[in-house]
Structure 1
C-alpha cells in the first residue's frame, strides 16, 4: 500500500497569525482562501505556480517542496495543498482538510491515455478533519472505491472522469483534463472534503 502523510501541512498552515486578518468563516475560523486571494499577486512572480479556485475564491500557490511526483504548494494566508502527480492528497488551511491519503495499489491516473481504451478501478483511504481540528470533526479511513473512464474532447484533450462510492457520503466525482500527446494533466476538479465544493487546480503556466 502506497501512503502519503502530509503531516507538515498542519504546521505550515499555522505559521500565519490569524489575528492579522479580517476574513473569517462561521465559527470564527479564518477564511484562509480569501486571504490567499488577496495576497496571491506576489506569488505569481516567485516561481512555479499552481492556481487554485474554490467556489468564487481564487488564489495562487507556489511550489515549496518536491520529492518525485509529490509536491507541496503554499498560498498566502496558510493555504497548503499537497499533490501526487495531479491528484490532491493533502490540504490545510481550508474549511475542510485532507489529512492523509493512502492508495491501495497503483493510481490509474498516472497514465490518462491508457484510460481511453479501458476503464480502471482504484481504492484509497482518506482521513479528513474540520478546519478547527476538533476531534469530533475528524473522520479516519474513508474508503473510496472508484472507477475511472476517459474520452477525448472536441478541443483535443483527454477528459478523465472518476466516480467514487464512499460509505456515508454522497457519490464523489473528480475530473481531470490531460494533454493528448503527453498525457500531462493541466487542469482538475477534485473532492477535498464533505460539505465543501470541489477544488479546481490549474497546473498550466500563465500566458
Structure 2
C-alpha cells in the first residue's frame, strides 16, 4: 500500500502558498509539453466543458481557458484550491478526490490530468484512471502528464529546501504501462510525447499521453 490521500492532502495544504507563488503559470513546461496541451485544447474546446483533474492552483486551467476552453477544476487539497481562487477568482475550482469525482458519466468533452496522478499508488491508479474516463463522454479526449520511469521518489528533502516539513512521495510510471492502464479503463492512446529532462529540476524523462474514450 502506498501513501493515503490524507497524507497527500496535508502535504499540499502545507505548501500551497509557496507552490502557487513559485509556479504560477506554465514556465516549467517545455515547448513540446505545451504542444501536447495545445493539441488537446484544439480537440476539446468546441465540444464542451473540460475537467482539469488535480488542478492545484489553477495554472493549467488558466492555460486552457486562454485557448478557448471552458474549464472546471478539482483538486484534493483545499489549500491549493483556495490559493488558486485567490490568484484566479474567475476560475471554477473546487475540492474533490480524483478517486471519487462528483460528476455524472460523460459530463466532459475532455479531462486533463497534468502530473496529478503522480502521487497515486500503483494499486490505486487503475481505479483513478477508470474514474477519469468515466466522466468523459464517448469520443472525448484525456491528456495525462507524468514522470517516466520506475520506482518511487521521496520529496521530503526537496520541499525541505523550501522550508516545509512534509511527507510526500511520487511514483514514476512506464509510458507503455500507463497506456495499457488507460486502455483497460476505456481510453485508447492516440499519441504520446516522451522527452529527456530539460530543466535543472528535472531528473527523469517526462511523458504525456493523449487518449480517446472509446465510442459507446
Same fold (TM over 0.5): no
Alignment TM-score, normalising by the size of structure 2: 0.29
Q: By percentage of residues, which structure has more strand?
A: 1
Q: By percentage of residues, which structure has more helix?
A: 2
Higher RCO structure (Cα 8 Å, ≥6 apart): 2
Computing the radius of gyration from Cα coordinates, the structure with the larger value is: 1
Alignment TM-score, normalising by the size of structure 1: 0.29
